[in-house]
Structure 1
């Protein structure tokens, strides 16, 4: 499993109806894409749900890295983004864990994201509440997987994912929600989901990815 996301920040007066129409017209193009676990078509709209910017920020989970490569540089879709918006930086993370929530059968309408550093001396993504620290990286990641699993038990969770950028030592926690994402109080970003393509959702790992 491999996660990626690009963020296209748009002018403050941009008409986000353009993005909504874009997704409504072409979002289904990846509904049967080989090697794609899911693509969530995400937006933030300035002034809505606390968003300070207009942004189009799709999030992907790939089951096949070769398929991701074909999408990015093999002429299988990403050229349309480059044509219309220029070439954005693509954040990418190796998958650590994926958990199906009780709302997996529903259509997600919101998403939350938490990206945080994994310093050598920090026990959790957020400040520990038990007053202790654990210097073992394996234990820290295991604790985050447990936190992810606990969060995924919420009745509105569709899918919850934990992934790692081992260059910058960052963890990303991404959650799809049936309704609002306000339940995830730790999230640094929340999004509206315009469409979900999930042709190989069942092929994502269940729990820890190794």
Structure 2
């Protein structure tokens, strides 16, 4: 599993209906993309921030730079930074739908033992959780915790999921 996200920060006066229409009309195009575990097209405030979990690095590579779909982002918004985290854990919850998302990024302390630190960041099944992914960027030792929810989780800064597809959800493995 590889978690991946790019964020497109838009001007404060940007009409977010343009993004909503983009997702309504184009969001389904990559629903069955080879190697994709799931994708969630997310928005909050003036930010468009798709999040993906890939089952294969080949699928991610095809999407990003082998003509597999990222070209629309490049053409419309330029080249954003694409963050990615090798997967450490994945948990499937009991919720049927993913309508909101939360993301937490934690930087491990330089003296922290990564194995011990990761054991303390547990993914738990709680009511309303669709799924949760945990990954680590070993370049920066940042841990990402990404959760999808059926109802608003009550956290400030939660994303709204405009489009969600899960073609390879059952094949996601991590750790």
1:89 positional shift: 0.7
The Cα shift of 1:140 comes to: 1.7
Aligned twin of 2:114: 137
| Distance (Å, rounded) in 1 between the aligned partners of 2:113 and 2:43 | 37
The structure that has the greater radius of gyration is 1
Runs of at least 4 residues off by over 6 Å? none
Q: Which runs of 5+ in 2 are unaligned?
A: none
Residue 112 in structure 1 maps to residue 102 in structure 2: yes
- TM-score, normalised with respect to structure 1: 0.80
Residues 127-166 of structure 1 correspond to what in structure 2 (within 5 A)? 135-144=112-121, 147-148=122-123, 150=124, 153-166=125-138
Paired residues of 2:108 and 2:141 also in contact (CA < 8 A): yes
Question: Paired residues, what number?
Answer: 175
- Cα RMSD (Å) of the superposition? 1.3
2:93 equivalent in structure 1: 101
Please report how far the alpha carbon of residue 137 of structure 1 lies from its aligned counterpart in structure 2 after TM superposition.
2.8
Structure 1: 5+ residue stretches without partners: 46-53, 122-134
The TM-score with structure 2 as length reference comes to 0.95
Q: Give the 5 Å matches for 1:19-168.
A: 19-45=19-45, 54-103=46-95, 106-121=96-111, 135-144=112-121, 147-148=122-123, 150=124, 153-168=125-140
